[in-house]
A and B are shown apart, each in its own frame.
Chain A
Amino acid sequence: MLNFMLLILIYTGIYALMAMGQNVITGYVGLLSLTQAGFLAIGSYTTAILSVTYGWNFWLTIPVAGLLAAAFGVLIGLPTLRLKGDYLAIATLGFGEIVRNILNNWDSVTKGPMGIQKIPMVKVFGYQLSPYSKWGFLALVWVFVIVGYVLFDRLAKSRMGRALEAIREDEIAASSMGINTTKYKVWAFALGAFSAGVAGSLQAVFTLSVTPGSFTFMVSIMVLCMVVLGGMGNFKAVVLGAFLIQFISYFPQLVGLSNVIPPQFKQVLFGLILVVMMIWRPQGILGREIRGYKPSKEKGGKR
């Protein structure tokens, strides 16, 4: 039971990183993008390939995973950001599927459907984190979540954060104010992808294996649910959303009812949550964060 709770909290952390990235794109800029599974996969495979095939240290693979995902974020962002709403969702959904299909078929690099096994365990201050040392992993993952939260929160209160919100509220007005809307949207995409890439890195060293099957479209939907459930435009809220969604999806196992409740039940429940939230509380459980910035006194984030 305790072990299970820890597992839920570890996955909450990994998904919270992705959800915070999604929040920049969906909560701040207001773009419905469904790419996080693809970026998670890119991050995971980067760490897996670099550490297994090339013997890199895990800590060196993290920035590469993040930056590579961010590069793909820019690559997919540039052509698709002309699209809006459901058209953007469809285009980005296609991206995730392309990534998964490449991972499935590029045998020489990704080892195909079998995936990459025996990823070396992480060492932190001399301690080796095996999949059984859940407390250690919990700490590792949540250090990343906290650092991510602090950085994202600063970003939100900065000049860039305000630019993103202006773009969401009215793109024509925003560009007339002198905001380079394309540049900021691409930046948002890159940041969202970066955090998903880092999350992928962490997931790879936690599970010690990566397979294409774990990066399905469902992952992107789950991340989107976390943002909507917690509250768009609120980084604390999306972490809460990440926990609730993870809790719900592991609930049958947690209470020992996995024989009675089929695993598909969570997909039904996610859909139900989205519908219920949209009707009764479209702003999410916590709602959008009240802006507290005072630009005339602000020191950081202005350049």
Chain B
Amino acid sequence: MSELLTIDSISVSYGSIQALRGVSMHVNEGDVVCLIGANGAGKSTLLKAIMGLEPLVSGSISYRGEVIAHSAVEKSKRGLFSSKGSADGSQMHKPSLRTDEIASLGLSLVPEGRRVFADMTVEENLDMGAFLVKDDARIARKKQEMYDFFPILGARRKQKTRSLSGGEQQMMAIARALMSSPRLLLLDEPGLGLAPLIIQDIFEKIHIINKEENVTVFLVEQNARIALKASIDGYVMENGVIVLADKSANLLVDEKVRAAYLGQ
């Protein structure tokens, strides 16, 4: 199994506060990998860093063997001024990619709090998810797939997204992220603020996406039990540091994890 995503001792700071300190982890192709931890542990920051939404203070992130984010060089400004080459001798590393460039490589983020386009209809949201897809026939086919996969979205396709329930919005956010046919799906707290039955439902969908669509999934969750049950590899984060890394099945029976995250 090949490594799809490799995170090599990255650090991220918000001003003087270090949100991530030397975090290393990897996601193998085809797996479901979860990262659990308490509120404020730095889980969402990690996902943002992967998508190029937070600059790295140190370390690097690689996707399929290519560096997509690096600390030394500032984000590229390509597309505005064609890059004039690097006369400053930083030829060793290509500059960190912009978020839209990272998305175009096949990474798709379902952000924390869903971040749907509330004033657009469900269908328009899905269209936005396919922004990088140029083939209209493929967009239409993909949308139909999503409506078949999430029937409630098909029923609500002409409705403004703000009128959807939390669970429906979460499904829409996942469907929107799948519109670009990603290879790696990043999920930030898909169960946040939802009823247990709906969380169950969403994790079943995630399972199908992984198994049948061959999408590698990296999910971040506070709900440790369901996340560990749904995943193959698990990481535990505390205060910006990975404190445990193991097979999820092992973490489920780990003394410390049980005490701290599973309430046993």
Contacts and interface: CB of A to CB of B under 8 A. Distances in A.
Contact of B108 (A78, A166, A169, A176): A176
Q: Chain B: interface residue count, which band?
A: 20 to 34
B115 A175 contact: no
A177 B124 contact: no
Interface stretch (A138-146, A180-188, A195-203, A220-228): A180-188
B115 A173 contact: yes
Contacts of B124: 162, 291
Nearest to B177: A176
A97 interface: no
A170 B111 CA distance: 11
Interface string A143-166: 000000000000000010011011
A302 B134 CA distance: 8
Interface string B135-150: 0100110010000000
A298 to B, nearest CB: 8
Contact of B115 (A162, A172, A179, A295): A172
A183 B99 CA distance: 12
Given A78-B80, A162-B127, A291-B124, A178 B109 contact: no
A234 B103 CA distance: 31
Contact of B80 (A172, A178, A183, A291): A183
B119 interface: yes
A163 B115 CA distance: 15
A264 interface: no
Q: Which applies to chain A's interface (DSSP): helix, strand, loop or mixed?
A: helix
B104 interface: yes
Nearest to B114: A173
B98 interface: yes
Contacts of A178: 100, 103-104, 131-132, 180
A187 to B, nearest CB: 10
Contact of B129 (A177, A180, A183, A296): A177
A131 to B, nearest CB: 42
B175 to A, nearest CB: 13
Interface string A280-303: 000000001001000111100010
A145 B79 CA distance: 31
Given A181-B100, A296-B136, A170 B53 contact: no
Nearest to B141: A296
Residue from the set A172, A174, A288, A291 with the largest chain B CB neighbour count within 10 Å: A172
B180 A180 contact: no
B51 interface: yes
Nearest to A186: B80
A41 B77 CA distance: 30
Interface in B86-115: 98-100, 103-104, 108-109, 111, 115
Interface of B: 51, 53, 77, 79-80, 98-100, 103-104, 108-109, 111, 115-120, 124, 127-129, 131-132, 134, 136, 139-140, 143, 176-177, 180
Q: Which 8 A-B pairs have the closest CB atoms?
A: A175-B99, A178-B103, A178-B132, A173-B115, A169-B117, A176-B109, A180-B100, A296-B140
Given A173-B115, A178-B131, A296-B143, 10 more contacts: A78-B80, A162-B131, A165-B117, A169-B118, A176-B177, A177-B100, A177-B103, A177-B128, A177-B180, A288-B119
